[in-house]
Amino acid sequence: GIQVEQSPPDLILQEGANSTLRCNFSDSVNNLQWFHQNPWGQLINLFYIPSGTKQNGRLSATTVATERYSLLYISSSQTTDSGVYFCAVDPTRFSGGYNKLIFGAGTRLAVHP
């Protein structure tokens, strides 16, 4: 099956710093999402980005589908950015009305004041 690798596994930042999180995947995908899981366990959808570039406030993401990787950029980090960032992909070739997300192991981010 498809392999999804995220790096770095852990990241510690001072408030105000910028960071880049990476997601590599071993096969072509039809769906790629970035999520933030806060310390209470809530998974928050950040981006749906199987290809191209998107921005939302201090966050932006780029997926280069032909080279099988995606990047999540966090600028001017805040303590509320702490948590785990997951990349998830759906490698299925056709849509049966649903998608089957395979998650990477995540990047655990701690932002200190």
Partner 1 sequence: DTEVTQTPKHLVMGMTNKKSLKCEQHMGHRAMYWYKQKAKKPPELMFVYSYEKLSINESVPSRFSPECPNSSLLNLHLHALQPEDSALYLCASSQDSARGESETQYFGPGTRLLVL
| Positions that interact with partner 1 (CB under 8 A) | 30-31, 33, 35, 40-45, 48, 86, 88, 90, 95-106
- Compute the residue count for the chain: 113
Question: Smaller CB distance to partner 1: residue 74 or 106?
Answer: 106
Query: 61, 86, 88: which is closest to 9 by C-alpha?
Result: 86
Give the residue with the Cβ less far from partner 1, 7 or 99: 99
Q: How far is the CB of 31 from partner 1 (least distance, A)?
A: 5
Nearer to partner 1, 18 or 42 (CB): 42
Residue 16 C-beta: closest distance to partner 1, Å: 28
Please list, residue by residue across 16-45, b when 16 or more beta carbons sit within 10 angstroms of its beta carbon and e when fewer do: eeebebebebeeebebbbbbbeeeeeeeee
